[in-house]
Structure 1
Amino acid sequence: MSKLFPIACLALLGTGGVAHSQDQSVTPATPAVQEQGQDQNKAEDSSSPRRGNGRMRGNSQPAAPAQADAQIQQVTISGSRADDTESRRLSTAAKMVFGREELDRNGDTSVGEVLKRLPGVTMGGAPGRGGGGIRMRGLGNGYTQMLVNGERPPPGFSLESLSPDQVERIEVMRGPVAEHSTQAIAGTINIILREGYQQKDLQLRVADNIEQGRHGGMVSLTMPGKTGNLTWLLTGGLMQHRQHNQTDTVNLRTRDLDNVVEREQLIHDEGNGKSTGIHLSPRLQYKFDNNDTLTFQPFLMSNRNTGDADTKVTQPVGSDDQLEYAYQHSRSKSSSTFLRGFGNWLHRMEAGAKLDVKFGFGGGQSDSDTWRNTFDKAGVAKRAYVDSDSTRERSLNTGGKFTKPLKQGHLFAAGWDVEAGHRSQNHVAQGDSAALFDDSGATFAADTRRVAAFVQDEWDITERWSAYLGLRWEGIRTTSSSLGTDVKNTSSVWSPVLHTVWRIPGREKDQLRASLTQSYKAPALNDMIAVPFISTTPDDPTRPDRIGNPNLKPELAKGIDLAYEHYLGKNGIVSASAFMRNIDNLMRRQTVLQQTGNGPRWVSTPINIGSARTSGIELEAKFPLTDLFPNAPGIDVRSNYSRFWSQVDGIPGPNNRLDQQPKQTANAGLDYRMKGLPLTVGGGLNWTPATIVQTTVSEVASTGVKRQFDLYGLWKFSPATQVRISANNLDPNLYETGRSVDAKGITQSAFNVARTYTTVGVRLETKL
């Protein structure tokens, strides 16, 4: 055991918390959501060939005679559940599970704050603020597949606005599986909403988060119940957040030949925002007399946001006629409401076969209005602007999966997915009550159709060697009408995937994983067909017009993943993994000067530019110190470190990396359970270094160092009541971003510096 300590140090200690997973999947290799809502039935089901075999894997002893196997099977029937670490160990496809303890540990107010501490996950935007998207392996938006209950959320839905109280567990899958869409070049994060498994008490949570004296409250209630064959879990909450924002920007226009600054603008933005939200996510399950089950879980989220900001502009270099305004006051309001329904019917057949039919619907609307009034140096009003946007979404989906055991330790599955969606958008941009440009009032409508079919075979080839082989075909068709033009885009992709795990003989706690996969990234709807965004600064390439490209092709990626895992004690793990992806049809936005009906303007358009490669290593460990030293204090260690490389063909180096990908990222944390006191304290450090990316031949984007230090304390007054105090971003630092475009001998640059703040939270959790 002493030899493991150096290994753990090299892996930067450990990550993740120890918590109970709600999943006891019949097929551990596939994501838990495939049996969504069927936990109670799983506990009673012993027909699957993987049930007893999976439990034997979890034992630290070699395979035992039939008597031992029967004893293990009896534990499964009684309803015991594998914890997060055990679920990960038994899965053939690499999957990490993070349950309620990880979700509750730091008292986070959004799922985004939880995700930033998970292995290989980074967040865009300023520390503690988010807003820049969720990324795995450092890759930007679109490479990481985000799911809610195994389904893609509707466009415009923000996972950062999702409260951790709504979530049962988070599953992180580094490689695609056939059952889900293979739009997962970097990986998949699946958010499983609260379930009713074994919950008996009414749970109340009340919290207050304070940022520079501004309070933001939250209250949530979870209520289980049962009547006959019907069980339910009602979860709902109210929340409000208040924020202060302050950003300073330096805009430079420089001649490349002699490096002379032709124009310099200093912009100071300062404002306040308030967000109010409500969420409801009841869950209903009915069990029929033949053991069939019907589950339905609607999910409603509604948010209202208001804000005001003041902008001051000074121009140390350049003539005043180049100054659009010296002062601007803006007000904004927005609202969004999303409703999704998830349902499934599980029918059990002879010989352990099952048919799981799922269905769902979705709808959403979002509206936003921004008013801007500009003034000159003397305070005289210049021009008033109004930007209004209204978007409507609706969707229907159905799918299913048929599973059949072929023999002991061998499970075959096949299924389908069909989804149809409609989106309409109306955008109006006015200046002094008149349209800014001919297309400033644009109506846009789009329809999407997605059809997929898959087969997968999971097989325990030997006692120590398991494999998962899957094949998925997915086709997407998008049609749109905008500004009197009808366009369409059709694409289809075949995605074979292979996952395997080998448990090393004589070393029961060691195993090796390998995966060969093909995945893809579909063009975003806004990148293909979108309402044009018209900039008010036509001579500034750092703030260009933005349009879509209906001829975009999906990116295709072939990948390999390798991993070594060593399990410590009951819940500890030390692992090292490596990955590589070769990407074709890489999509990038390119900014060029175009002649338009309104004169020469800088326009940003997405295009396919060629090929790219990315690779990386990921080190992870988590363990209680008592697993290494029996007399050690009750400290749990958790941390992870990732190192990434990438190269884009056709763009000059040395920083021709994939967009937004840092070179490395790390997390480290400790949790200390005090002896003699019902108190647990802990903290964590999240770090991402400065990043410079040559996005195109003429454009460079940069991001400064991101460092966030969090602490928390948990006092348990009784088994039913506890108070959690947290402090996030204890060492607030300035968050820096920049962008520059080299255009015909002139370099236009914008460098932004945003303030960040410490947030203190107090949270009461009680069972009534």
Structure 2
Amino acid sequence: MRNNLLATSLSRALAGATMLAAAHAAIAQDAPIAAATPPALLASTDQASSGQASLPAAVTSAIELDSVVVQGEIVYRDRSDALAPTLSYDLAYFQRFEPLTVGDMLKRVPSVAFVSDVLEYDGARLRGLDPGYTQVLVNGKKVPGASDDRSFFVDRIPAELVERVEIVRNTSANRSGDAVAGALNIVLRDAYEFDGAYVRAGGMRYDDGDLKGTAGAVAGGEVGGGRLLGGINVQERYNPKLKRSDRFDGLRGAFVDREDQDDTRDGTDWSANASYSRDVGGGKLSLSGLVVRTDRTETENSIEYNDPSSTSRANLLSINRQVVDIDQRTTALSGGYAFDMAGGRSDIDLSWSRFQGESIDVEEESGFDDEDAPPSFDEREGTRILADVDDRELTASFSHERDLKAGVVVEFGVDYSQKRRDNTLRTSEVDTDEEGAPLPAYDDYAAQGSRIEERRVDPYLMFSRRGGAVEWEAGLRYETTRVDIASTVEGVRDARANDYATLLPSAHLRWNVDDANRLNLSLGRSVRRPGFNQVLPLLLEGEFGDNDFIGNPQLDPEVANGIDLGWEHRLGRRGIVGVNLFYRDVGNLIEVVNTGAPSAAAVEDYEDDVADFLDDHPGADENTPGYPQFDPDSFVHTARNVGDGAVYGIELDASTPLTAIGLEHTGVFLNYSWLNSRVDDFLGQRRFNDQARNVLNVGFIQDLPTLGAAFGVSYRRQGDAFSRVLAEEIQTRYGADLEVFIEKRFGEDLSLRLTGSNLLDASKDEVFHKFDNGADQRNRDYDEYEVERETAGPVYQLVARYSF
């Protein structure tokens, strides 16, 4: 009854939004809808835009609370004052569509793509590149994550804790250089930028009728001679999806089997952040902390049939159930002190962060032999994997800035970081061939562990000049890295080490042509350090079809030389349009290569052939005619720095009110990115793996001031992606995403907002080309050709905010 009542209410509210949209269309039928995604914003402080935490030396006034709780007008992206090309998006840009996480926010900004499940926005792919190419910062600081490619899943930070998100398109000397695609700086709410308190509460209804809740509170004000801010957030996360896979024995080949699957992600995120700032001894002290915990269960139920449509027992091939229990905790603490020294301004900063992740993955499958009719029970098998990750990072930095002659400013400093990542993996496999019998206990575990320690010392020097028609910045950064790697497999320990250093120059030039136009040119060298799995000397059997993989501890980072050329034009008083062209020449590219050593599967197949021959020819040896010859067709592969690649594209973004045609309360938003790349691999030329061809966001917001209400629509479409690794090629296509909101404001203290997302029932379609080994892949001799579709239904959310 409760579910039906909520569904009816949501349906009526959405119907109201549709009627309002129709009325708007009738009024503005001649108005071009050219735009995208909700409002953007706000010029960053120089420090924040350079990737450092922003704490202004003096603040004239804190943010008014009613602008956080009740938005009385549409907000548009403004220019950033940073010399490095930077886009800054305040929470107000996204808030009316009620994003739950930073991932939900980032799906609306230029050039950010995702290759995740439907309704999942975790690994941000700036310019479409693998998440490991994007530097994710929280308050200007690196935060460790679960991923082996060094990336941080942005869906773990609630949107409600965020003050703004910055996209820094090119590198600067005073920021870590590991940002080939760019940097995403997530700036949390700051004590000096918020005054008052408010609460947020709401609920979500999913396509299967399930209800989930969300709640949070933020408060800030003067405490003990300084300013204190605290925020908490609790939200239930849920994502029910359906999948279907059809498999064939080759491209345009015969049907083999079909798999029907339901996949549900169900969990809760808890988070809290706090910051405190005050004047101390002639300087400014700032302290901040963030805690995020994720408790999540992922459940997949799969049934395979040997018929394209039947669900009868006569066509049953397997029944599979996989349950993964995930517990993840992130803690980030930092403190800084800014003070005058020797005629300039100095900053000392210290931060510590930790990621802890534990998972229990249990997969159990009953298989049936379809050589019998109906298929007879064959075997029941199970696998239990216990995984633990503990990643800690300590960073310290010192910087000093002072004025020179002719308006030139010099900044120099050094950044130090020490990282330790411990990873353990224990696996137990059991089986039974007795139908109906329980599986044996999971008590015999194969164990492996690893520890990676990384120490960096990165000095830098930078000059800049602001003011006038031409502004510029130029600098050098020298990054030195020491890596120690230790692994243990079944009690056997292996220790390795590697050292490398990279010089990273950068330069930015801005020409203020007039009040409305400016041009930006940026040059910079950046790096991508190897992923943790790429350097671990652990043998992974069957990692690529029949091929094995072992990491290479001597890998060096990839190095990219990049250029950005951008133009921004002011449209009237509040509108803006920008175009940016970018190019990255990536060298020292890390690719999978063949070591020449035979794989475990090749050795096992040869041993079986020899055993069969000896059974037929007792007493035979290697000189006996017909004795099997060892001719492996699968091998052990590793990662090496080979070849190079290029990444390039065009990024357009615009946001403006339609004041010029008399619609000052109508805001339109647009961003579109055309993305491309080139890399040579073992089969020829391709794009960087999983790079979307384009990303489009377009939408509008209509404010109704006399009614104290507003509504809006946002549409997103991401282009196709392609990935090719040894023994497998994947083509990925996403359906479009449509979102609608309608809100009602009650005075200056209360707002009520209803949103509907995924209203087009978006799907993720993948095509898998699978091969046993590299030779078969080159000859297009398929092991399997698979077509998979994943779908999810609409989500409706009702949220209220109240200030006090």
Q: Same fold by TM-score, threshold 0.5 exceeded?
A: yes
Which category of TM-score, normalised to the shorter sequence, fits these structures? 0.7 to 0.9
1:280 aligns with 2:289: no
The one of 667, 678, 688 equivalent to 2:708 is: 678
Distance in 2 separating the partners of 1:753 and 1:602: 32
Aligned residue in 1 for 2:608: none
Contact 1:274 1:306 in 2 (8 A): yes
Deviates more, 1:744-753 or 1:566-575: 744-753
1:226 aligns with 2:216: no
Aligned residue in 2 for 1:382: 380
Aligned residue in 2 for 1:55: none
Q: CA deviation at 1:467?
A: 0.6
The one of 34, 39, 44 equivalent to 1:17 is: 39
Q: CA deviation at 1:181?
A: 0.9
Q: CA deviation at 1:589?
A: 4.1
Aligned residue in 1 for 2:589: 586
Contact 2:38 2:96 in 1 (8 A): no
| Amino acid in the other structure paired with 1:411 | V
Aligned residue in 2 for 1:145: 135
Aligned residue in 1 for 2:459: 453
The secondary structure found in structure 2 opposite 1:197 is: helix
Contact 1:100 1:169 in 2 (8 A): yes
The one of 235, 239, 250 equivalent to 1:239 is: 235
Identity of aligned residues (%): 20
| Amino acid in the other structure paired with 2:427 | A
Q: 1:458 to 1:401 in 2, by over 3 A?
A: same
The secondary structure found in structure 1 opposite 2:501 is: strand
Distance in 2 separating the partners of 1:530 and 1:723: 55
Contact 1:12 1:620 in 2 (8 A): no
**Paired residues for 1:268-307 under 5 Å:** 268-290=260-282, 292-307=283-298
Consecutive unaligned residues in structure 2, runs of 5 or more:
1-30, 62-74, 147-151, 309-314, 369-375, 432-439, 606-633
Distance in 1 separating the partners of 2:227 and 2:564: 41
The secondary structure found in structure 1 opposite 2:276 is: strand
Q: 1:546 to 1:275 in 2, by over 3 A?
A: farther
| Amino acid in the other structure paired with 1:569 | G
Aligned residue in 2 for 1:596: 600
Aligned residue in 1 for 2:653: 620
Distance in 1 separating the partners of 2:96 and 2:42: 14
Aligned residue in 1 for 2:5: none
| Amino acid in the other structure paired with 1:710 | E
Q: CA deviation at 1:686?
A: 0.9
The one of 176, 179, 185 equivalent to 2:180 is: 185
Aligned residue in 2 for 1:638: 669
Aligned residue in 1 for 2:487: 482
Q: 1:382 to 1:622 in 2, by over 3 A?
A: same
Distance in 2 separating the partners of 1:440 and 1:546: 18
The secondary structure found in structure 1 opposite 2:103 is: helix
1:712 aligns with 2:761: no
The one of 244, 247, 271 equivalent to 1:248 is: 244
Cα-to-partner distance string for 1:546-575 (whole Å, 9 max, x where unaligned):
542223221111111111111122331112
Contact 2:76 2:93 in 1 (8 A): no
The secondary structure found in structure 2 opposite 1:751 is: strand
The secondary structure found in structure 2 opposite 1:704 is: strand
Aligned residue in 1 for 2:609: none
Distance in 1 separating the partners of 2:455 and 2:441: 34
Aligned residue in 2 for 1:99: 90
Aligned residue in 2 for 1:52: none
Aligned residue in 2 for 1:747: 782
The one of 489, 495, 499 equivalent to 2:504 is: 495
| Amino acid in the other structure paired with 1:671 | I
Cα-to-partner distance string for 1:148-188 (whole Å, 9 max, x where unaligned):
11111113152212100111110111111111111111111
Deviates more, 1:714-723 or 1:427-436: 427-436
Aligned residue in 2 for 1:702: 731
Distance in 1 separating the partners of 2:276 and 2:558: 39
Q: 1:32 to 1:181 in 2, by over 3 A?
A: closer
Q: CA deviation at 1:591?
A: 8.4
Contact 2:508 2:520 in 1 (8 A): yes
The alignment's TM-score, normalised by the length of structure 2, stands at: 0.80
Deviates more, 1:376-385 or 1:102-111: 376-385
Q: 1:172 to 1:530 in 2, by over 3 A?
A: farther
Q: 1:729 to 1:386 in 2, by over 3 A?
A: same
Cα-to-partner distance string for 1:718-745 (whole Å, 9 max, x where unaligned):
2111111111111013211233244434
Aligned residue in 1 for 2:472: 467
Contact 1:12 1:619 in 2 (8 A): no
Deviates more, 1:244-253 or 1:323-332: 323-332
The secondary structure found in structure 2 opposite 1:105 is: helix
Consecutive unaligned residues in structure 1, runs of 5 or more:
1-7, 45-82, 318-322
Q: 1:520 to 1:419 in 2, by over 3 A?
A: same
| Amino acid in the other structure paired with 1:634 | H
1:204 aligns with 2:195: no
Aligned residue in 2 for 1:54: none
Q: 1:100 to 1:408 in 2, by over 3 A?
A: farther
The one of 135, 159, 163 equivalent to 1:164 is: 159
Contact 1:112 1:160 in 2 (8 A): yes
Distance in 2 separating the partners of 1:193 and 1:412: 28
Cα-to-partner distance string for 1:105-125 (whole Å, 9 max, x where unaligned):
210111111101101111221
The secondary structure found in structure 2 opposite 1:661 is: coil
Distance in 2 separating the partners of 1:167 and 1:707: 27
What count of residue pairs does the alignment treat as equivalent?
Answer: 693
Q: 1:604 to 1:124 in 2, by over 3 A?
A: farther
Q: 1:380 to 1:612 in 2, by over 3 A?
A: closer
Contact 1:574 1:621 in 2 (8 A): yes
The secondary structure found in structure 1 opposite 2:404 is: strand
Q: CA deviation at 1:355?
A: 0.8
The one of 530, 537, 551 equivalent to 1:523 is: 530
Aligned residue in 2 for 1:61: none
Distance in 2 separating the partners of 1:40 and 1:718: 34
Deviates more, 1:108-117 or 1:136-145: 136-145
Aligned residue in 1 for 2:350: 359
Aligned residue in 1 for 2:610: none
The secondary structure found in structure 1 opposite 2:178 is: coil
The secondary structure found in structure 2 opposite 1:154 is: coil
Aligned residue in 2 for 1:74: none
Higher-Rg structure is 2
Distance in 2 separating the partners of 1:202 and 1:671: 27
Distance in 2 separating the partners of 1:448 and 1:98: 33
1:136 aligns with 2:136: no
1:513 aligns with 2:544: no
Aligned residue in 1 for 2:624: none
Q: CA deviation at 1:252?
A: 3.7
Contact 1:395 1:420 in 2 (8 A): yes
Contact 1:458 1:467 in 2 (8 A): yes
**Paired residues for 1:25-174 under 5 Å:** 25=45, 27=46, 31=49, 33-34=51-52, 36=54, 38-39=55-56, 41=58, 85-88=77-80, 90-131=81-122, 133-156=123-146, 157-174=152-169
